Structure 1
Amino acid sequence: MDYITSERLIPKDDRKKIHEYLFREGVLVAKKDFNLPKHSDIDTKNLYVIKALQSLDSRGFVKTQFSWQYYYYTLTPEGLDYLREWLHLPAEVVPATHIKQQRSHAPPRGMMGGEEQRGERRGPRAPREGGYRRREEGKEGGAPGEFAPSFRGGFGRGRGTAPQE
């Protein structure tokens, strides 16, 4: 008996749109709504997108992550090769997620002289004498010897019982 996959039930032009988008972007997001008439990014039914990518996932061509009623599909290296062959694309063409972004040669703000500019505006910092969280010479941290906390029972901000003496 001939096994019919869900991919054969999807019209070829719709399958091509899905595969082209996935190859171009490298990732695809689909809402888990099988009755949605149109996918948000591709001009085809949302059901076709989910089922086509479910087929690719079962063959190991995409990795699927499901969160908050959305499917997140990521193209695997095997899927990249498969789609390149299926779409008849040369090896030089790669998805957008595989292209490294060009960084500008200008250093980020705050580096390369940022301290001098800030120091000129605000002026130098005054040293703290006996200020916030300064330790005295020879003193160890901790509570003083006469510190004796008392616990009065009760919960939260409610009224507790009178302290016992």
Structure 2
Amino acid sequence: MFMQKSDRNAIYTVLFRSAVMFAERALQKRHPDKSLNHLTNLQVIKILKSLKSRGYVSEQIAWRHYYWCLNNDGIEYLRGYLHMPSEVVPSTLQRRKEPVRMSRNSRDDGTRGLQRDFKEREDRSTYRRNDEDKTGEVGAGAGSLEFRGGFGRGRR
């Protein structure tokens, strides 16, 4: 399928940015990505099938959708094709900053929340240890079996 270079570059840029892409099997629909909404799903599918045949992406098909994941060879290829430096990596491969955990209560030291959590855990453990009201005589094979004739097939 013949495509303009600007369209191919747009697809490659979106793929490199996130390292994953999807497209619905409805071929005449427009692609839902904001930067690719001028393209149909057919164009996106054909470009990414071409990358799959060269071994740059892995393809997964579920229901009416295609899903593609960029592998390491594909990252290197797109870096060279789009003229990007080696420091630029897809967003799925970037390290996230760990969020700062805040306590749920208004105190600054957070001891009140820890005491509450400890109390909840203690209550659960004492519940599990307390077996006076529970009997072990339930379940399959616990009761006596009684066979009575006259039920089901074969009664004469």
Short-chain TM bin: 0.7 to 0.9
Q: 1:19 aligns with which of 8, 12, 21?
A: 12
Gaps of 5+ in 1: 1-5, 136-140, 155-160
C-alpha deviations, 1:33-78, integer Å up to 9, x for none? 2222x21112322221111101111100111111111000110111
Q: In the aligned structure 2, how far is the partner of 1:63 from the partner of 1:75?
A: 7
**2:31 pairs with one of 39, 54, 75:** 39
Rg comparison, structure with higher value: 1
Residues 1:100 and 2:99 aligned together: no
How many Å separate the matches in 2 of 1:25 and 1:77?
Answer: 13
Which residues of structure 2 form unaligned runs of 5+? 105-112
Identify the residue that residue 44 of structure 2 maps to in structure 1: 49
Query: Match for residue 132 of structure 1?
Result: 134
Distance 1:57 1:73 in 2: 8
Partner SS for 1:15: helix
TM-align CA RMSD: 3.3
Query: Number of matched residues?
Result: 139
TM-fit CA distance, 1:134: 4.4
Question: Using a 3 Å threshold, how does the CA distance of structure 1 residues 74 and 113 change in structure 2: closer, same or farther?
Answer: farther
Once the two structures are superposed, what CA deviation does each residue of 1:118-155 show, in whole Å capped at 9, x if it has no partner? 37999x759442x12247xxxxx7434xx42336116x
Write the distance in 2 (CA, Å) between the matches of 1:114 and 1:89.
51
Secondary structure of the corresponding residue to residue 76 of structure 2: helix
Post-superposition offset of 1:104: 2.6
**Greater helix percent: which structure?**
2
Percentage of matched positions with identical amino acids = 33
Report the TM-score when normalising by structure 1. 0.69
